[in-house]
Structure 1
């Protein structure tokens, strides 16, 4: 049977009719309830995570004390070395700490509010093309994705990145409308450019989808569409490139060393360690390729599946079906443009994450959550409107069935946690799928009830997993979702920062104002723990991995001779990454540690070996 697809005008009337079924009051109440529930999920018991990622919290502490440290994202207020990212996410937290003081809430609340804002902007984007019902579904999917509940409660750069990319997606949606102003596409470029300042090249993964959507559906002639894309690209380069230019031309002696680079270059950091190195695995100064699950199944595997896989097949079904349903629509059809917009984001990002050979952590998949949510909202709305065609009913049933079966598989990875949910979702999913197959024959009221149950049974598992994720504290460099709460088994110094006892904390704080750095220790993550506890500047030798050539042995010896550093902290501060990291980066930090141990005597303070660098060398 050939489908007679609606023209754009008919689609707009259908959306208007859908809006009419929701009174203004009920729409506002439903939207408000969505945001309130999201806020509760992301803010509830937030301070239980303490400093969360102490590596970034220490940089926020430094930025709140020193404007240069804030500008460059320095790990310490004395400006020795920066974190290994561009600092836009730190700027938000820096301002919060300057306003409200240094504490867990002032660091983490901005992340939670970014999550609520991302849900609100996604709702607005989907509502413009598919109405409030689809928008509510999309917002609920985003809010209830476990990795979103993890990262919008954590102080990594991902929260700001996702918010800015969702804003950019909304702007592209507006740019594709028939009467769109010329500035919407420019605004999208600016948002992506600032996203680059949050997490560098990862922000650019959305660009193919954005460009295809506008080229296909933009209301202007093709030449002007191409010109508009060039203008948006220029806006993106300016919005993100000004900071790279600033860091490159700033005299190196007047700013901190660029952490994560081997030549004190932020361009090297952007293109190498945080850029193409993540794709190839050739990350100078990194840990090498630690991934053994590269391939199409990675997003469903034990590393990433519980973070993001729950609704991924349903999103792909909705994307494919939606493109089929809109294949005969006018070129400027806004629904198809939205599917290309968010679907391109989804496909490109999923492929890159699946096949990247460098360091790719499971929580990176939060960047997929908005695209999955938008595609499900738009695609499910299209399928429901066309449910009287048998294949659309089959697609709806298939989406629910595969979602619930996958949920049962994912839940089985924690067999001791809520075992009844696994069975209930599986049985409920099969029952709802059968009803959806015959939904065209059901009375309208019954059909709507089936649709509501389908949404509930599909979201029950990821929502429950999000709640248990939010209920657990998360600390260290690699947080994870689920009832276990946090990642275990990683190398020392990578995951959790040290928590010195009162004796060591008092030792570091005593007379700290007389020195540029109260202490030095290998690795920024180690330095962060001592700095946060004592409130004194701590010099991180070698940056995050301990493999950056900053400072060199000669520079450190000069610091010691000038009385800039009081203590060197050994013991737990060992590199922890072994020769694997040092093979591709500098051994300066290891050489410094060897030199200190050879020339100075240590004493145990709070169970940790501490070397006083202001006293004579050992005999």
Structure 2
């Protein structure tokens, strides 16, 4: 309550919080499904406690999502209170984003002062990637809030010499592990270093408390994983996206080391009958065509053989849902044109490249000069609390920057991990440079004007890449205003303090023009909730490594023009309907890539990876249900999503995220059919591994009777009246009634 009272008396901070609330909350009610994968899991978790505890993707509790369930527990509680909607599962993350702004303020203010705290909070509120992620039901916004809450406990524990707060701080990292596994551990070095530097106890007590805190960290981190792994595999869901049906393997493999190396292969979720040659599930071409590869020198796309067979005219995506645009069409690697998702070329300057810089790097040059001013006069016997806290934020920022500079596989929105330390150091560094400038402290006097002009130049570099989208005015404005502010600061060095303060604040505000514009883009341009990022033209899956499709970032898929489309009308893409038989959409790579792009679309009509409820199909399945537990089974969660989310139906998803997790065997399905749990199977289509197991599909066809499309397919003018229906992104779907004697 004391903290809230402090906020209420700070009118400027109230405005900053209101700004954060607007950026994070406005328009979230327009997102029907948010990230469909996670929203489908919430629909499942609302159905029973078994699914809730495990974070099950489907109603049968047969496969989990690819992350631990803590964030989804919170989303499920929100959906239970407000009903299951896109906005109700986004709401916890939006509030977490606002909460992170408040926590930055409370963390910075006691040591660095009110002005630094306000600046840090404002920078955090305007951090583009933080806004983009907070407007979705992805995990990272909640993760950052949890880690900042841990930092608050840490600072309080050291200030009050409280062992309980110390244990709570490391417990928060453990909670973060149960949100997104090893990503939470990025901050652990900062926590350890800060306690060693700042705790006012002897070394023996320090080491004892750190040992106890580490024990708490490990216990909380592994509590859910060890519990789940210790349960018999036939009594719990398959661990989605794992190779060995183990949470620990998922944590330290797919969600751990593989993120650094970029190797997402190794046979995870391989479709039966494929070889384990180091390629991922998505490299099985049984359900797709030859993947595209890219010439990293020319940026041109071409088709190269991959040894696959099957349907032509479709592009294979791998088991993680990413396009095979890495090395030789394999996933991960970060190669080619800026990696699989346009994350730039690994190296020391990766965060300054066009592909990533617009997400969180806007103020990095400013922070660098602030650190110089901050630590310029440090002496071994003169390390103050400011220096210690500065080192804490630097120890958070440094490892995260190193990871994202060299990692082989990550998405743009992971860069939210950089937001808190950049915000805190921007405020602290500004005050250090302002003090040196105001007091005309030798060479340090020049740090503030130099930092402003160089940061403005860097921001010009970021913005000018989008001149064709937003016009040249923005980039020119930032560059000109930055130069003008720096020159003014130089000219009035000897003037009165009031003039200096006004000029300095003007210079700072100039540096917030670019971040503010980018932070608004999720509202003004729309947002891809599956893989969110900020920047002009990021809706409709743009910016996901497709340059010309909303700005620089990767490669234009074959068959698409420079605008990122294939000639198919926007109406046909966004309506959830399919093209008429014989149209271009069914004929070649342009159409298939358009369908692929639609798979990652996120607007109110499509919901990213789901189609719409086929009303006639729903009525048919309900009418002919003779006591089965599950309405139907399918190989693609996008097909199941609208029935689970909108209609509250129980649906089996046979293959997890990729469609290729080995969740079911034919024997298990046969037992479920015999026990009257399910009899209808809606199968087919899919991209990459999303066609599901060929063995299971063959079993369904062998034991099933194909239901004529005319009996269940709610056709429209844009749908072909044939024996199969194109349903959203899932391609040709066929309904079977399966019976086993």
The two structures have a TM-score, normalised by structure 1, of: 0.88
Is 2:399 aligned against 1:348? yes
Structure 1 residues 519-534: aligned runs within 5 Å: 519-534=632-647
Deviation at 1:36, TM superposition (A): 1.4
The two structures have a TM-score, normalised by structure 2, of: 0.74
Structure 1 residues 175-214: aligned runs within 5 Å: 175-177=157-159, 179-214=160-195
Partner SS, residue 220 of structure 1 = coil
Is 2:700 aligned against 1:577? no
Is 2:218 aligned against 1:237? yes
Is 2:435 aligned against 1:385? yes
Residue 498 (structure 1) aligns with: 610
Judging changes above 3 Å, is the alpha-carbon distance between structure 1 residues 505 and 482 closer, same or farther for their aligned structure 2 residues? farther
Residue 411 (structure 2) aligns with: 361
Structure 1 residues 300-315: aligned runs within 5 Å: 300-315=352-367
Partner SS, residue 653 of structure 2 = strand
Is 2:108 aligned against 1:138? no
Deviation at 1:290, TM superposition (A): 4.8
Is 2:358 aligned against 1:291? no
More helix by share: 1
Is 2:256 aligned against 1:275? yes
Tell me how many residue pairs correspond in the alignment.
583
Structure 1 residues 378-417: aligned runs within 5 Å: 378-387=428-437, 388-415=440-467, 416-417=469-470
In structure 1, how many angstroms separate the alpha carbons of the residues matched to 2:167 and 2:404? 27
In structure 1, how many angstroms separate the alpha carbons of the residues matched to 2:517 and 2:18? 17
Tell me if the contact between 2:707 and 2:736 (Cα under 8 Å) persists in the aligned partners. Answer: no
Deviation at 1:432, TM superposition (A): 1.2
Residue 374 (structure 2) aligns with: 322
Deviations, residues 194-241 of structure 1 (Å, cap 9, x unaligned): 011110000001111221222122211223222222222112122222
Tell me if the contact between 2:367 and 2:425 (Cα under 8 Å) persists in the aligned partners. Answer: yes
Judging changes above 3 Å, is the alpha-carbon distance between structure 1 residues 513 and 528 closer, same or farther for their aligned structure 2 residues? farther
In structure 2, how many angstroms separate the alpha carbons of the residues matched to 1:515 and 1:394? 75
Partner SS, residue 60 of structure 2 = coil
In structure 2, how many angstroms separate the alpha carbons of the residues matched to 1:468 and 1:187? 37
Judging changes above 3 Å, is the alpha-carbon distance between structure 1 residues 453 and 182 closer, same or farther for their aligned structure 2 residues? same
In structure 1, how many angstroms separate the alpha carbons of the residues matched to 2:86 and 2:535? 22
Aligned-pair RMSD on alpha carbons? 2.6
Judging changes above 3 Å, is the alpha-carbon distance between structure 1 residues 201 and 252 closer, same or farther for their aligned structure 2 residues? same
Partner SS, residue 680 of structure 2 = strand
In structure 2, how many angstroms separate the alpha carbons of the residues matched to 1:42 and 1:484? 18
Structure 1 residues 595-614: aligned runs within 5 Å: 595-597=699-701, 600=704, 601=706, 603-604=708-709, 605-606=713-714, 607-608=725-726, 609-614=732-737
Where structure 1 has 5 or more consecutive residues not aligned to the other structure, the ranges are 1-22, 582-586
Residue 651 (structure 2) aligns with: 538
In structure 2, how many angstroms separate the alpha carbons of the residues matched to 1:591 and 1:351? 43
Is 2:71 aligned against 1:70? no
Deviation at 1:101, TM superposition (A): 1.2
Deviation at 1:551, TM superposition (A): 1.4
Deviation at 1:140, TM superposition (A): 0.6
Which of 251, 268, 285 is the equivalent residue of 2:232? 251
Deviation at 1:602, TM superposition (A): 5.4
Structure 1 residues 131-170: aligned runs within 5 Å: 131-170=113-152
Deviations, residues 394-452 of structure 1 (Å, cap 9, x unaligned): 22223212221122221122213153221111101011122334554221001100111
In structure 2, how many angstroms separate the alpha carbons of the residues matched to 1:116 and 1:24? 16
In structure 2, how many angstroms separate the alpha carbons of the residues matched to 1:508 and 1:212? 60
In structure 2, how many angstroms separate the alpha carbons of the residues matched to 1:530 and 1:290? 36
Deviation at 1:610, TM superposition (A): 4.6
In structure 2, how many angstroms separate the alpha carbons of the residues matched to 1:403 and 1:45? 32
Residue 222 (structure 1) aligns with: 203
Where structure 2 has 5 or more consecutive residues not aligned to the other structure, the ranges are 269-279, 281-317, 319-330, 336-344, 547-592, 602-607, 715-724, 727-731
Tell me if the contact between 2:59 and 2:652 (Cα under 8 Å) persists in the aligned partners. Answer: no
Deviation at 1:27, TM superposition (A): 5.3
Which of 672, 685, 696 is the equivalent residue of 1:559? 672
In structure 2, how many angstroms separate the alpha carbons of the residues matched to 1:611 and 1:564? 20
Judging changes above 3 Å, is the alpha-carbon distance between structure 1 residues 554 and 373 closer, same or farther for their aligned structure 2 residues? same
In structure 2, how many angstroms separate the alpha carbons of the residues matched to 1:221 and 1:412? 54
